[in-house]
Amino acid sequence: MASIRIRERKDGGTTYTVTWRDGGARTGKQDSEKFDDMDSAKDFRDLVNGYGEQWPPGWVKGKGFVEQKSAEPEPEIDPETMFEVFALKYVDLLTGVQGGSKAKYRQMVVCNMVPWFRDFSVADGELSITGDAIKLWVNDLEEGRWGPYPPEKARKRRKYRAKTVRDNHGLLSGILKSAVLKGKRATNPCVETRLPRPDDTDADEMCFLEHWEYAIVHRHLKPDAADIVELAAGTGLRWGELTALQKQDIVRRGGRPALRVQRTWKLGEDGSRYTGPPKTKKSRRTIVLTPRLSAIVQRAARGKAADALLFTAPEGGAWLPATFRRQRWLPAIEKAQEDGLTKTPRVHDLRHTHASWMIAAKVPLPAIQARLGHESIQTTVDRYGHLLDILDDEVIAAVDHAFTLTQVAPPADVLLGREDVAAAA
């Protein structure tokens, strides 16, 4: 129990010291507090005993009960500005975006952003996303590293291509720009980030087949895949456009057989597949066919209704890209490699191959742009401009011819005009 010890001071006064052992234990730390009068000492002793021989809560040694200033309340964070909540709501409110794209954006947010920005806010403040945090995120995507909060049972990440990094950064920039427009923050930190150039890695991932390489692959395709692959290589159509073709899309242009591209396969938010307009305005196009390709589409259309698909899987319905790749494309590639093919092309590389064949045949880039359905000629140049070196001989000949013409004398009427001017002077 706490007790009071009385001692005389040198100045003649008296000190009353309350002493006790912490918690009343014999081995507890000895504590004490001094007073100038007995009544105060008794009151404090009773308090100590009342609290189990502990310092009374709120008592400060040598000062007594001191009013505790409440800590400054931390600024409240609006839960609606926390990154995951704000980002997913941003995706939900996007307009003019197809359901499949929204599903893809949600996956990008959850898998490629939340593991890094889970504890960040899109608003200005202590938890705000900074430019440095975004730079670290971009580096991690490029190097295949997880963020601080990887999902449970997360697999090892793969390094992302330059285009994939740019796509993710573009979505993040849109999210933070929305936060700026809503007055949540002053600036968009994404503008500080230097991104990998698309041509740093992506160009090398395109595969262009020579004519003889394509012939090897085609020779090993099953009959129900040979025609669709021939049409892909001969038109440059995207897989979704090709497998959405109907009998009514067979038309003529300028007296030539042609295909009208006016739909493609799309994904809904729930993963369901449906046909809708192509991805851009210029993707709606008419493609002229060679007699050989015309024979393929006429054969595929025989006996079908106008709105029936030209090319279907064995069980009916459109070919799913993953199913075609697994059941038809990869087996043919493996056999072709046994016959000497050194490349491993994807189905989409048939589109790139078509473009390379057109360039080798000296077809102008604007014509290739129109055939492939690129919205901008810059897209065509960016993707296939490096193939134009096959036209170097033609370029040199044109420049040489131009300089040859500079050695020719001016036309007679120009010379006559000069003589008239001199005579008048």
Residues 291 and 347 in one domain: yes
**What pLDDT, on a 0 to 100 scale, did the predictor assign at position 391?**
58
pLDDT in tens, 59-106: 888 888 776 555 555 567 789 999 999 999 999 999 988 888 899 999
141 and 21 within one domain = no
- The per-residue pLDDT for 186 is 96
> Is 301 inside a domain boundary?
yes
Q: Are residue 15 and residue 120 in the same domain, yes or no?
A: no
Local structure of residue 68 (DSSP, 8 states): P
C-alpha closest to that of 275 among 242, 301, 303, 299 = 242
- The whole-angstrom separation of Cα 137 and Cα 134 is 5
pLDDT of residue 278: 87
Structural domains of the chain, count? 3
Same domain, 351 and 227: yes
Specify whether the CB–CB gap between 83 and 171 falls below 8 A: no
pLDDT given at position 396? 64
Does some domain include residue 221?
yes
If DSSP states are collapsed to H, E and C, what string results for 323-364? HHHHHHHHHHHHHHHHCCCCCCCCCCHHHHHHHHHHHHCCCC
Check whether residue 163 and residue 25 sit in a common domain. no
Residue 189 is assigned to a structural domain of this protein: yes
Nearest to 110 by CA among 87, 81, 131: 87
> Which residue, of 188, 205, 222, is where some domain finishes?
205
**CA 21 from centre of chain:** 65
Please classify residue 385 by burial: count the beta carbons closer than 10 Å to its beta carbon, then call 0-12 exposed, 13-18 middle and 19+ buried: middle
**Residue-level pLDDT at 216:** 95
Helical spans, DSSP H, in 51-148: 83-92, 99-112, 114-117, 131-143
What sign for the dihedral angle of Cα 273, 277, 280, 282?
Answer: positive
Give the pLDDT of residue 96.
Answer: 83
Residues 149 and 27 in one domain: no
pLDDT in tens, 350-364: 999 999 999 888 888
Q: Looking at the domain assignment, is residue 73 inside a domain?
A: no
The residue range of the domain holding 7 is: 3-65
Which pLDDT does position 394 carry in this prediction? 62
- Both 352 and 231 in one domain: the answer is yes
Q: Is residue 217 part of a domain?
A: yes
381 inside domain: yes
Residue segments in the chain with a per-residue pLDDT below the cut of 50: 201-203
Q: Is residue 400 part of a domain?
A: no
Asked if the structure places residue 424 within a domain, the reply is no
Among 181, 205, 229, give the residue marking a domain's end.
Answer: 205
Closest CA to 138 of 102, 176, 112: 112
Q: What is the CATH number of the domain that holds 120?
A: 1.10.150.130
Residues 196 and 263 in one domain: no
pTM score? 0.63
Cα(44)–Cα(4) distance, integer angstroms: 10
